[in-house]
């Protein structure tokens, strides 16, 4: 039997991306289609989403909702994989400048509860037959933005007797979609859903909690993060609920979309390369040094970072290790955007070390590929990291990841200790404790390995041969759906 699944999300690469969620929602459905799952996606009709789809057609009028007149459901196609994408047309909510969460001046929208409640509600409408030609067997919600989809499905099951199972994937427990309790009436959920066994969270509404409570299964994006979020220290206030659902939680690693992230075919980088023909990587490094205004020195160990600049990402720790990198003759390139204090700290470091530190503030897909390809080392010193994708891209590009031992970083990178080097399993640099001495020790291991040419080459080679494709993950998701549909 072909399982039909509807992914519910706020972002999807290449239509709209602010982080790894978009990469996952862009890559998982095509991988599922390859395996015979009929995967579709529903997104808010943000301007770039509408602009990026072809063959858009009207599916249904969903009527008035959340104070809006008529909400329309449309359906388009995303090439090159011909993924069917539903869009929820509510221009008053979604047709705005800025990104999905912040307005043009980086302030959160005041009505995001309604904007994303509508997304979950529309997904449940599709599950209940809004498109007469297709119905999902499973609704798969991603993060808090889609957290109300499982709640609406449960609510409507009561009145209709129709049961559509749901899965929620936690990409990041730190973002919970918490709103004032006074908004509960607007959501059109049964009154008893406002409860500690429901959507209520310390006197507020939490969309993520609703998803975690009402979904039939919970997945998160790495096995280690699946364990971490069930602890008090890393459970962000939801660990109690998560522990009660421990048997329904699965950690499934993200993958690499090899149609987008492959150094042998990547047209965004200076020179394509592969394990067999690695010389192109040096050209990528030289091009990156030139592009960023750094000294053109092939021997300078080049550290790269592509990241949201938030507390999560450990940029403060990276800054604390910067003097050690520079003193040893290394260079640092950072591409990112986010917290003004971190942006300023990075800008200051670049101004103080113009030959060896370069920072580009902003979101730039092409430059992100150039940095992943041109760096010797890609740093991901996150405080916590549900999965992390840049370290996976770095492995594929033979740029050794230097990471903190948490979440998906711990599951995907093997430290270059002498033992691991001897056992031929090392793929990067992993530090255990989130403190300056630990990251500096990892930086020193990176310089030490670089000085041992044959070992360096062997580790780069091994990194490039790691296989973090989407197929294995898609198979794991298929198992989760299977349990819900037999
Ligand atoms: P997160 O989702 O927490 O931001 P991930 O490592 O899972 O972290 O995914 C981040 C994704 O966003 C990667 O594809 C990365 O290349 C991309 N990215 C992050 N910041 C930028 C930026 N400033 N410009 C371009 N791409 C970026
Ligand atoms: C989140 C996490 C990141 C993960 C991504 C995709 O944004 O912070 O670790 O890789 O989602 O699942």
CATH topology identical between 4-255+470-485 and 280-465 = yes
| CATH number given to 4-255+470-485 | 3.40.50.2000
The answer to whether 372 and 394 have CB atoms below 8 angstroms apart is yes
Q: What is the pLDDT of residue 343?
A: 97
- First-to-last alpha carbon distance for the chain, in angstroms, is 10
| Confidence at residue 105, expressed as pLDDT on a 0 to 100 scale | 82
Going by their DSSP bridges, the two strands 331-338 and 302-309 should be labelled as parallel
Where are the chain's structural domains? 4-255+470-485, 280-465
pLDDT for position 486 = 86
Query: Computed over its alpha carbons, how large is the radius of gyration of the chain?
Result: 23
SS3 category, 196? coil
Query: How many angstroms separate the CA atoms of 321 and 438, rounded?
Result: 10
Any binding-site annotation on 281?
Answer: no
Residues of the chain with pLDDT under 50: none
Residue nearest to atom 7 of ligand 2 (CA): 20
Q: In what order do the strands lie in the sheet with 178-180?
A: 178-180, 204-206, 200-201
What pLDDT is recorded for position 437?
98
The dihedral region occupied by 338, where left means phi > 0, alpha psi between -120 and 50, and beta the remainder, is left
CA 77 to chain centre: 22
**Ligand 1 atom closest to Cα of 21?**
2
Q: Is 403 helix (H, G, I), strand (E, B) or coil?
A: strand
Q: Which atom of ligand 1 is nearest to the CA of 389?
A: 6
- Which pLDDT does position 369 carry in this prediction? 98
Alpha carbon distance 137, 67 (integer Å): 30
Ligand 2 centre to CA of 425 (Å) is: 25
What is the CA(390)–ligand 1 centre distance, in A?
A: 7
Sheet harboring 331-338: ordered strands across? 357-361, 331-338, 302-309, 377-380, 400-404, 429-431
Q: How confident is the model at residue 459, as a pLDDT?
A: 98
Class of domain 280-465: alpha beta
Cβ pair 336, 306 in contact under 8 A: yes
Q: Ligand 1: which residue has its CA nearest to atom 24?
A: 363
Q: Which residues contact 273 (CB under 8 A, 6 or more apart)?
A: 263, 264, 279, 280, 281, 284, 373, 398
Say what the pLDDT of residue 98 is.
81
């Amino acid at each position: 039997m072909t399982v039909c699944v509807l992914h519910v999300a706020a972002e999807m690469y290449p239509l709209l991306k602010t982080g790894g969620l978009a990469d996952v929602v862009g890559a998982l459905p095509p991988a599922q289609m390859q395996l015979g799952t009929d995967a579709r996606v529903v997104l808010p009709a943000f301007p770039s989403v509408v602009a990026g789809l072809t063959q858009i057609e009207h599916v249904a009028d969903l009527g008035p909702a959340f104070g809006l007149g008529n909400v329309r459901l449309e359906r388009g196609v995303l090439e090159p994989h011909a993924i069917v994408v539903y869009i929820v047309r509510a221009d008053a909510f979604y047709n705005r400048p800025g990104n999905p969460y912040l307005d043009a001046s980086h302030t959160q929208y005041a009505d995001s509860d309604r904007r994303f409640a509508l997304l979950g509600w529309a997904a449940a409408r599709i599950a209940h037959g809004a498109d007469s030609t297709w119905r999902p067997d499973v609704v798969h919600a991603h993060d808090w933005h889609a957290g109300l989809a499982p709640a609406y499905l449960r609510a409507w099951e009561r009145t209709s007797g129709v049961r559509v199972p749901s899965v929620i994937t936690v990409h990041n427990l730190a973002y919970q979609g918490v709103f004032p309790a006074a908004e509960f009436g607007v959501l059109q959920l049964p009154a008893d859903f406002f409860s500690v066994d429901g959507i209520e969270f310390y006197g507020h509404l939490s969309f993520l909690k609703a998803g975690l409570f009402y979904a039939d299964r919970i997945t998160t994006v790495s096995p280690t993060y699946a364990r971490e979020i069930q602890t008090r220290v890393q459970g962000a206030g939801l660990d109690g609920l998560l522990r009660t659902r421990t048997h329904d939680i699965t950690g499934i690693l993200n993958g690499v979309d090899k149609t987008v992230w492959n150094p042998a075919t990547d047209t965004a980088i200076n020179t394509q390369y592969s394990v067999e023909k690695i010389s192109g990587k040096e050209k990528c490094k030289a091009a990156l040094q030139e592009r960023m205004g750094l000294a053109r020195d092939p021997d300078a160990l080049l550290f790269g970072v592509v990241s949201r600049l938030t507390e999560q990402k450990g940029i403060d720790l990276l800054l604390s290790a910067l003097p050690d990198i520079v003193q040893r003759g290394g260079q640092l390139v950072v591409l990112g955007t986010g917290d003004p204090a971190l942006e300023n700290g990075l800008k200051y470091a670049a101004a103080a070390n113009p030959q060896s530190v370069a920072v580009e503030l902003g979101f730039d897909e092409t430059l992100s590929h150039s940095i992943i390809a041109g760096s010797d080392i890609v740093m991901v010193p996150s405080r916590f990291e549900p999965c992390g994708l840049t370290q996976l891209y770095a492995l594929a590009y033979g740029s050794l990841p230097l990471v903190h031992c948490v979440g998906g970083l711990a599951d995907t990178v093997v430290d270059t200790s002498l033992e691991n080097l001897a056992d031929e399993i090392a793929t990067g640099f992993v530090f255990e404790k989130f403190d300056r001495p630990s990251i500096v020790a990892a930086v020193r291991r990176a310089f030490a390995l670089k000085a041992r040419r044959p070992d360096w080459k062997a580790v780069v080679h091994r990194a490039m041969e790691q296989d973090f494709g989407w197929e294995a993950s898609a198979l794991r998701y298929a198992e989760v759906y299977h349990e819900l549909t037999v």
